Chain A
Amino acid sequence: MSRSALTGTRIRARRTLRGMRQTDLARMVGVSPSYLNLIEHNRRKVSAPLLNALAQALGVSSDALVEDGDTRLVEGARAAALRADTDLSELERIDDLIGRFPGWAAVLAETHARVERLERVVEQLNDRMTHDPYLGDALHEIISAVTSVQSTAAILNDDADLDPEWQTRFHRNILTDSGRLAEGAVALVNYIDSAKTGETGIAAPQEEVEAWLAREGYHIAMTEGDDLSGAEAYLDAQVELASGAARQLALGWLHQMQADAQALPLSALQTALAAHGMAPDRLAAEFGCGVDVVLRRLAHVPRALSADLGLPPVGLAICDMSGTLLYRRPLDGFDFPRFGGGCPLWPLYHALRQPHVALRASLVTAGRTGRRFGAYAIACVAGAARVDQPPVLRATMLLLPEDGQATDRAIPVGASCRTCPQMECAARREPSILVTGA
């Protein structure tokens, strides 16, 4: 039986579910706590005899430690229970539930996942209505023109003895405003027509690019080679890239990915990853490139390579000096806001204060169903250096799922203030739209 890269994750999940200390489990199976810690962090493979011993000590089958489905069910049902304020004493019997009623447990987990997905949609729609600057400005422009036309036309209609000079002035105003109105209406229709409509509403160019990359699995094969001559024709054929702005952004990304691939060629990267794992600093040293290049490259490798090496799923965020997110690759359990900046506590933003310093932090998503992530972040100068000009920085943050010990100091973070239930937070800039039920 093959043991997947996340067996350690499942061992840890089962142990913490039972409230067992790492040292106690290590003693029971005859290994050192530090060795068990490495296993739980997926840094050491588990031998078959040790897997059996661990399964026995944890009171589960060894299959339960190597199969994804069961663990997802445990996590999903547990998250649903925590959200619903279920009696915690019953939470310990989650294995009984899944063992006896796997179908019901699956329904519970899926319902919880659906609630979370719908909450994200609500947030995105809310953001769209509140924060889409183009839509807001376009509508304001149209209403202003309509107001002027209506008010002026009423004057011309109501006042038969209007002074000729005023008449001329008002006619001119109506002409000007009707032109504004026509232009504004056409622009608004074009904006709506050229954008995608889906469950979350109209897409912005950046969202079109992200949708395209998500469908492609965040890897475009042509960027591994030297020739991008067919890039524009390829981008024209991508259904997600409806707007010219999106295709322009996407072309920029193809060039960026190609440059990153040249800095860390695929075959050499595969060897290095097998040797070092996802260690950005060691990879940067080995390839003689910046940590930011490594972070971007790790988020854009072929799916086959990730599967072969058992690499964990990753998320990526890039922001400019204003904190505006320029790129978002979400990771299961860690979503990025569609509009505005993210959580000010992310290392992404801390990196901007210390350019060229690679940061590493453990994060836990705020709330009772918090999930843990490891984050690497660095801010580097973008573009050519300019004499007597302030540098333009871009920060990059790579996210990885992470296991953590109870004593670890993980930073509680949110996606954005609007969806973060952590009310007492010095970094909060606006109220949350979530009702936590706490």
Chain B
Amino acid sequence: MNQKRVLVLEDEPNISEAIRFILTRDGWQVEVEADGIAALERLRSAPPDALILDLMLPDMNGFDVLRSLRASEATRHLPVLMLTAKGQSADRELAAQLGVTRFMTKPFANADVVSALQSMVAS
């Protein structure tokens, strides 16, 4: 079975644990990082099939991570689901300009995260 890999970049441990559980249950191989720099290194060395990206991170924000990903050939087309407590239209627009695949605000329904990820990878 070809298990899909997803990296969850989220600094809230209880949220990342819940996401890890629901995606594992859905058949994903889940990796978790809590800071942007470590995540970028991991993404460049072994790009997963998808990334779940929190906007507010301790060392750099999700926009910086996304900008960096889109500037690199290896991750230019990586499907990225941005999860954020900030749902302002300006944030959505900036995320879209930077090439986000999906944008979802917190709090979210577990089923929505799973289906969003499935559709991103399928397309």
Q: Is A151's CB under 8 angstroms from B85's CB? A: no
Q: Check B14–A176 contact: CB distance below 8 A.
A: yes
B contact residues, total (Cβ < 8 Å): 17
Contact string against B for A residues 377-391, beta-carbon threshold 8 Å, 1 for contact and 0 otherwise? 000000000000000
Question: A151–B25 contact, CB under 8 A?
Answer: no
Question: Chain A residues with Cβ under 8 A from B58's Cβ?
Answer: none
A40 and B88 alpha carbons, distance in the complex (Å): 52
Contacts of B21 in A (CB 8 A): 155, 166, 170
Interface status of B93 (Cβ within 8 A of chain A) = no
Cβ–Cβ contact A151 & B12, under 8 A: no
Question: Which A residues are in CB contact (< 8 Å) with B106?
Answer: 143-144, 146-147
Query: Do residues B108 and A151 form an inter-chain contact, with CB atoms below 8 A?
Result: yes
- As a 0/1 sequence over residues 100 to 123 of chain B, the CB contacts with chain A under 8 angstroms (1 = contact) are 000000111110000000000000
Whether B107 lies near A139 (C-beta < 8 A) is no
In order of increasing CB-CB distance, the 3 nearest A-B pairs are A143-B85, A151-B18, A147-B107
On whether the beta carbons of A139 and B85 are closer than 8 Å, the reply is yes
- Contact mask for chain A residues 45-69; partner B; CB cutoff 8 A; 1 contact, 0 none: 0000000000000000000000000
Closest to A152 in B: B18
What is the CB-to-nearest-CB distance from B96 to chain A, in angstroms, rounded to a whole number? 20
Q: How large is the interface on A (under 10, 10 to 19, 20 to 34, 35 or more residues)?
A: 20 to 34
List 15 interface pairs A-B (beta carbons < 8 Å), by A numbering.
Answer: A140-B56, A143-B85, A143-B106, A144-B12, A144-B15, A146-B107, A147-B108, A150-B107, A155-B18, A159-B25, A166-B21, A170-B18, A173-B17, A173-B18, A177-B14
In angstroms, Cα B19 to Cα A134, docked, is 28
Residues 9-31 of chain B: 1 if any A CB is under 8 Å from the residue's CB, otherwise 0?
Answer: 00010110111011001000000
Is A143 touching B14 in the complex (CB atoms < 8 A)? Answer: no
Q: Are A155 and B107 in contact (CB under 8 A)?
A: no
Contact check, A173 vs B14: say whether CB atoms are below 8 A apart: yes
Please give, as numbers and ranges, the residues of chain B lying within 8 Å of A140 by CB-CB distance. Answer: 56, 85-86
A140–B12 CA distance with the chains assembled, in angstroms: 11
Contacts of B19 in A (CB 8 A): 151
Nearest chain-A residue to B21 (Cβ)?
Answer: A155
Q: Which of B12, B14, B17, B110 contacts A154 (CB 8 A)?
A: B110
